[in-house]
Amino acid sequence: MRAKLIDWPTFIGALILILGVSIPLILFPEQGAEVVNIANEFMTGNFGVLYLLVGLAAFAFLLFVAFSKNGQIKLGNKDAKKEFGTFSWAAMLFAAGIGSSILYWGMIEWAYYYQGPPFGITPESKDAIEWASAYGIFHWGPIAWAIYTLPALPIAYFYYVRKKPVLKISEAARPVLGSWVDGPLGVIIDVLFMFGLMGGAGTTLALGTPMIAEGVNELTGIPITLGMKTVIMLICTLIFAVSAYSGLKRGIKVLSDINLWLAIFVLGFIFLFGPTLFISETTFSSLGIIMDNFFRMATWLEPFGNLAEFTETGFPESWTIFYWAWWVVYAPFVGLFVARISRGRTIREMILGTIIYGTLGCVLFFGIMGNFGLYLQLSGSFDVIGFMNEYGAPAAIIEILHQLPMGNIMIALFTILAVIFLATTFDSSSYILAAVVQKEVQSEPLRWNRLFWAFSLCLLPLVLMYVGDLETLQTASIVAGFPVIFIMFLLAWSFMKASNSDIQESKDYEPPTIHINRREIVERLRKRKNKDAKHSALEAMQDKEIE
Ligand code: NM2
């Protein structure tokens, strides 16, 4: 009975694709890496416009929807209460969409921009400093969060308004693709999304594990070896598997709340005991730089890069395009997750909440952690860049924390926070992967199914780590995300098509909240049709009588 709930073609299709890509990478790591790198250069080199367009288009589209009547639609029945309070809701969506990478890049991204700035600026110059602080915030800002929010629209709409108990990307494309989604095309859409997500999660692990390992090494002296990193991965897996197994309300919500409180404490500590004034001023000025240059940053592709006397920096490909691609592969998952937790909110609340809380959270991480490192560098109290270039970014991150009062305690808290951040992204990923391979999800996906995907998420990166190729996985994930771009356009179209036609048919228009009950509308239309039919039959009879 329960196995009947599983959508086997999607389940097996996803496994085949994932193994089909990973096994050659494991067997032939060097050739595999070469192929993946060529594919990556091809995608980011030739389709940069497409990636940047998807970001800007998602942002414009969401603002439009939020303030249109489609934004007033409530997710759920007219009297539905919000399933989660705003604090837990924001905590969950942030914890799901953001993993340990924010601790990594939040701390150290500026150092890369400082040495390799955009727009042909001289490295390590005063201008480079300003952009170094601003660009990280931009890459984790409103456009990025818009990419995350877009898929939530059609998914939440079908789940709570049209009340289809299916949490699948393919289902959300039904208004455009019709019954095609019940066939192989639907399976392909879901499998591609699952593949992209597993790749994106691989990137997260590839960054997170060495950083956690450095933290553990600093605190305990245990040397960083493959075995030690394996234990770290296994502990993380255990934590998020337990959380995914316990479900949304007991596991995922509790872990997300802990995550948020711990993050607030660590950030608050750095802010208060670090250079408070420098952090506030630099963050504030960075926001100004971003607002001033928003469209420039969102469209910069270095088109004259290799013409005439210009020298190409490769900045857009290595950063903005890479980032948008990374957000895109995670987006359908975050969309599914945000949709699942948003019952009782209007579409507008969901859109603005996600973009605003998401961006705000990232501004705090980048503003506080990044500018603390930047301050150490500029004030000469610690040469972050020299240290990073010699020992690598993960070691530099931990060393930056060492400069704080009670450095060791802060390193311990930071390391725990990284583990929890990782776990809160992975528990919800497993939850969603499980939901996608089920034909129906009444309240939660099956438990064994959630556990299966929790372990699958880690197994591959673990094996790839042994062949020394987490970086290839990182690049592969970006390549894997390419088809998801088209799925994003499809999802936006789908949402507009479905909600517009429902609004058109609905007589229940009650500003400021539109409540749509699909069944009622269909029933009313049927009655109206019957009435019309009766009416014209009567008229025909009368006509006859007159004759
Ligand atoms: N994003 C937000 O590793 C992580 O933090 C997960 C990364 C897409 C850049 C998400």
Residue 450 pLDDT: 85
**φ, ψ (nearest 5 deg) of residue 466:** -70, -30
Q: How far is CA 351 from CA 63, 66, 145, 150, 355, in A?
A: 8, 6, 9, 8, 6
What is the per-residue burial (b if ≥16 Cβ within 10 Å, else e) of 497-528?
A: ebbeebbeebeeeeeeebbbbbeebeeeeeee
Q: Quick check: helix, strand or coil at residue 237? A: helix
Going from the Cα of 97 to the center of ligand 1, the distance in angstroms, rounded, reads 6
Phi-psi region of 510 (alpha: psi -120 to 50; beta: other; left: phi over 0): beta
Residue 361 pLDDT: 95
Q: Which residues of the chain have pLDDT under 70?
A: 1-3, 247-249, 305-310, 467-471, 473-474, 477, 507-515, 535-547
Indicate which residue's Cα is closest to atom 5 of ligand 1: 99
Going from the Cα of 431 to the center of ligand 1, the distance in angstroms, rounded, reads 17
Residue 61 pLDDT: 97
Using the structure block, give the residue that is written with the tokens 């790198």: 37
Q: Quick check: helix, strand or coil at residue 510? A: strand
Ligand 1: atom nearest CA of 207 is: 3
Going from the Cα of 277 to the center of ligand 1, the distance in angstroms, rounded, reads 29
Cβ < 6 A, ligand 1 pocket: 98-102, 204, 326-327, 330, 425
**What is the rounded distance in angstroms from the CA atom of residue 480 to the CA atom of residue 497?**
28
Residues 6+ apart with CB under 8 A from 441: 165, 166, 167, 435
**What is the rounded distance in angstroms from the CA atom of residue 282 to the CA atom of residue 532?**
68
Ligand 1: atom nearest CA of 204 is: 3
- Which tokens go with 289? 């730089």
State which of 51, 98, 429 you would mutate to test the pocket of ligand 1, scoring each by most atoms of that ligand within 8 A of its C-beta: 98
CB count within 10 Å of CB 36 equals 23
Q: Where are the domains of the chain?
A: 2-485
Residue 2 pLDDT: 61
CB count within 10 Å of CB 349 equals 19
C-alpha 65: how far from its chain's center? 20
How many residues comprise the chain?
547
Q: Give the DSSP per-residue string, 260-316.
A: HHHHHHHHHHHHHHS-HHHHHHHHHHHHHHHHHHHHHHHH---TTTTSTT-----HH
Residue 284 pLDDT: 97
Going from the Cα of 141 to the center of ligand 1, the distance in angstroms, rounded, reads 12
Ligand 1: atom nearest CA of 203 is: 3
Identity of the amino acid at 49: V
Going from the Cα of 296 to the center of ligand 1, the distance in angstroms, rounded, reads 23
Is the distance from CB of 135 to CB of 320 less than 8 angstroms? no
Longest dimension (CA), the chain: 104
C-alpha 254: how far from its chain's center? 20
Is the bond leading into 512 cis (omega within 30 degrees of zero)? yes
Going from the Cα of 204 to the center of ligand 1, the distance in angstroms, rounded, reads 6
Residue 337 pLDDT: 85
Going from the Cα of 200 to the center of ligand 1, the distance in angstroms, rounded, reads 8
C-alpha 416: how far from its chain's center? 22
Q: Quick check: helix, strand or coil at residue 428? A: helix
Going from the Cα of 155 to the center of ligand 1, the distance in angstroms, rounded, reads 21
Angle between helices 470-480 and 29-46 (to 10 degrees): 40
Ligand 1: atom nearest CA of 326 is: 8
Going from the Cα of 52 to the center of ligand 1, the distance in angstroms, rounded, reads 17
Using the structure block, give the residue that is written with the tokens 């994106």: 200
Is the distance from CB of 101 to CB of 474 less than 8 angstroms? no
C-alpha 227: how far from its chain's center? 30
Going from the Cα of 267 to the center of ligand 1, the distance in angstroms, rounded, reads 18
Question: Topology of domain 2-485, per CATH?
Answer: Amino acid/polyamine transporter I (1.20.1740)
**What is the rounded distance in angstroms from the CA atom of residue 139 to the CA atom of residue 343?**
29
Ligand 1: atom nearest CA of 100 is: 5
Tally helices (H) and strands (E) across the chain. Answer: 25, 2
Going from the Cα of 390 to the center of ligand 1, the distance in angstroms, rounded, reads 26
State which of 105, 204, 240 you would mutate to test the pocket of ligand 1, scoring each by most atoms of that ligand within 8 A of its C-beta: 204
Residue 502 pLDDT: 87
State which of 103, 327, 330 you would mutate to test the pocket of ligand 1, scoring each by most atoms of that ligand within 8 A of its C-beta: 330
Ligand 1: atom nearest CA of 99 is: 5
Best CA proximity match to 145, nearest among 36, 42, 204, 59: 59
State which of 100, 102, 328, 457 you would mutate to test the pocket of ligand 1, scoring each by most atoms of that ligand within 8 A of its C-beta: 102
**What is the rounded distance in angstroms from the CA atom of residue 339 to the CA atom of residue 336?**
5
Indicate which residue's Cα is closest to atom 6 of ligand 1: 99
Ligand 1: atom nearest CA of 323 is: 9
**What is the rounded distance in angstroms from the CA atom of residue 177 to the CA atom of residue 187?**
13
Best CA proximity match to 486, nearest among 44, 96, 151: 151
Q: Which long-range contacts (CB under 8 A, 24 or more apart) does 215-224 make?
A: 215/398, 215/411, 215/412, 215/414, 215/415, 215/418, 216/415, 218/398, 218/402, 218/408, 218/411, 219/408, 219/411, 219/412, 219/415
Residue 468 pLDDT: 60
Best CA proximity match to 117, nearest among 298, 249, 285, 315: 315
Going from the Cα of 201 to the center of ligand 1, the distance in angstroms, rounded, reads 8
Q: What is the dihedral of CA 69, 70, 72, 74, to 10 degrees?
A: 150
Is the distance from CB of 131 to CB of 118 less than 8 angstroms? yes
- Which tokens go with 412? 């311990």
Is the distance from CB of 148 to CB of 331 less than 8 angstroms? yes
Ligand 1: atom nearest CA of 208 is: 3
What is the per-residue burial (b if ≥16 Cβ within 10 Å, else e) of 293-327?
A: bbeebbebebeeeeeeeeeebebbbebbbbbbbbb
